[in-house]
Amino acid sequence: MATDGEVVCGGFKVVPLSESQADFPGQPYSVSVLKVGYCLPQTDGTFRADGTITLITGPKTILVDTGGPWDRDFLLQTLKKRGLAPGDIDVVVGTHGHSDHIGNLSLFPTAAMIVGYDVSEGDAYRPNKLADGHAHCIDEHVSVVPSPGHTGQDVSVQVMGTTGGTVLVAGDLFECCSDEDSWRELSMDTAVQEVSRQEALRTADVIIPGHGLPFRVLRD
Residue by residue, pLDDT tens for the chain (220 residues) are 445 578 889 889 999 999 999 999 999 999 999 999 999 989 998 999 999 999 999 999 999 999 999 999 999 999 999 999 999 999 999 999 999 999 999 999 999 999 999 999 999 999 999 999 999 999 999 999 999 999 999 999 999 999 999 999 999 999 999 998 899 999 999 999 999 999 999 999 999 999 999 999 998 7
Measured CA to CA, the distance from residue 116 to residue 215 in angstroms comes to 23
Our separate counts of H helices and E strands in the chain read 2, 18
CATH number of 7-123+136-218: 3.60.15.10
Question: Quick one: pLDDT at residue 71?
Answer: 98
- Cα–Cα dist 141/214, whole Å: 20
Residue 71 near residue 104 (C-beta atoms within 8 A): yes
Closest CA to 113 of 129, 103, 124: 124
CA 78 to chain centre: 18
The phi-psi region of residue 90 (left if phi > 0; otherwise alpha if psi is between -120 and 50; otherwise beta) is: alpha
Nearest Cα residue to 91 out of 141, 38, 26, 39: 141
Q: What region, left, alpha or beta, does residue 122 occupy, with left being phi > 0 and alpha being psi -120 to 50 degrees?
A: left
Q: Flag whether the pTM goes above 0.85.
A: yes
Domain locations in the chain as residue ranges: 7-123+136-218
Show the CA angle centred on residue 61, arms to residues 107 and 161, nearest 5°: 145
